[in-house]
Structure 1
């Protein structure tokens, strides 16, 4: 298969994979190519679609590749489809989200131990927004649900993987738990505020 044909097939794979995206291993398996070759073609496609003459782009998120629209074209999309504006997360929800992101997998009881207050409602909100999900159960009596972040969470904050979260202090004492939560919250508040500002500017 010639080079232009390989790139055409990859474009098709990106299209049919939709918002779920497709990872390198899947492309390798389908096209019977090694990882180095796949990376070469993906780099070429990413560069080609970065052109101002293109209305979509190829992005690498959460270990996979997918087609997305470009942020600068958002005003035109909003004229076509009336979509609900981004709902602001409460401070409680942001705190819970930050704790899940850094401590996952983590149970509701553990989250409440850190926050010092009940967290059932904030967790329901985060699940409804597809920012967190059930990732397992605690062993033993009760089998409490363990929570972790989702792919939507990575996309919302522009992360390729959870490893790209801002680093936290290596050692935090029990007396500093409140400060740790404040740090979690402030990092996410800044990022979410930036995202919401961009959204409001395009309305």
Structure 2
């Protein structure tokens, strides 16, 4: 079967589907639609067709693109048009998760499978309301019970809707914790014993590791940060260090 025959059918299937479609599903649907013919579509042909469709809609004059999101392929509006499309859905589209819900969701995403008591031990506060809201929004699901824990508490994990909501294909696409830490600290300037040490990531210096950044922060006497207005402000109180020689 020629790719030119397959591509329009794949586009129609993905466009009409109410859920993301994976390549194996597309092969089955294509062959069912074509009937009992000798020249059947193969997974290799569908892979090639998907690549062609992605390249086609990557052109700037299309307002949407083919993306792998929520576990399969979907046609999604390009980010440049999100505000335009938001007008069609009103406040519902623009509603955002609260800080408490986001913190709870992040813990579940990175630590799953996890119980509510484990979430609360990390956050330090009760999370009943946040968990309930996340369940209502179908961003998390109950995956079972911890049979080994006292009371056999429920175990939580992220749902397929979670991946779709954040535009990722799997939890493997989540940013690594070390990457987040480096992004937060990369512009910090630390003063240690009167010497200024800048943490910078560029083409001419070796990229710092998560451990080296944390160690530098912990050992710094003063941590200075640059605000968005360009003002240098003290980000930490001066840390007092013990001086054994002065005490003796």
Specify if TM > 0.5: yes
Gaps of 5+ in 2: 31-39, 179-213, 215-248
**Unmatched segments (≥5 aa) in structure 1:** 170-178, 180-203
2:155 is the counterpart of 1:146: yes
Cα shift readout 1:182-203 (whole Å, capped 9, x = no counterpart): xxxxxxxxxxxxxxxxxxxxxx
Deviations 1:68-113 (A, max 9, x none): 1222223433444434353343332222111100111111122122
Q: Is the 8 A contact 2:3 2:45 kept in 1?
A: no
Q: CA separation of 1:33/1:135 partners in 2, compared to 1, >3 Å: closer, same or farther?
A: farther
Equivalence for 1:21: 20
Determine the C-alpha separation between the residues in 2 that align with 1:117 and 1:74.
Answer: 35
More helix by share: 1
Answer yes or no: is the 8 Å Cα contact 1:133–1:149 preserved in 2. Answer: yes
Match of 2:167 among 158, 174, 189: 158
Aligned residues: 169
**Runs of 4+ in structure 1 displaced over 6 angstroms?**
none
Aligned Cα root-mean-square deviation (Å):
2.4
1:133 to 141, 145, 151: 141
Q: 1:55 to 1:94 in 2, by over 3 A?
A: closer
SS in 1 for 2:67: strand
Q: Which has the higher contact order (CA 8 A, sep 6+)?
A: 1
Matched, 1:101 2:100: no
Please list the CA deviations of residues 32-76 of structure 1 after superposition, one character each: whole Å capped at 9, or x if unmatched.
543332211101001111222323221112431011122222343
Contact 1:21–1:67 (8 Å) recurs in 2: no
Structure 2 length-normalised TM: 0.60
Partner of 1:22, secondary structure, is: coil
1:30 maps to 29
Counterpart Cα distance in 1 of 2:6 and 2:15: 14
Structure ID, larger Rg = 2
Return the TM-score normalized by structure 1: 0.71
Shift of 1:132: 1.3
Stretch deviating more after TM superposition (30-39 or 105-114): 30-39
1:184 aligned partner: none
Cα distance in 2 between the residues matched to 1:91 and 1:8: 43
- Contact between 2:142 and 2:154, CA under 8 Å: does it hold in 1? yes
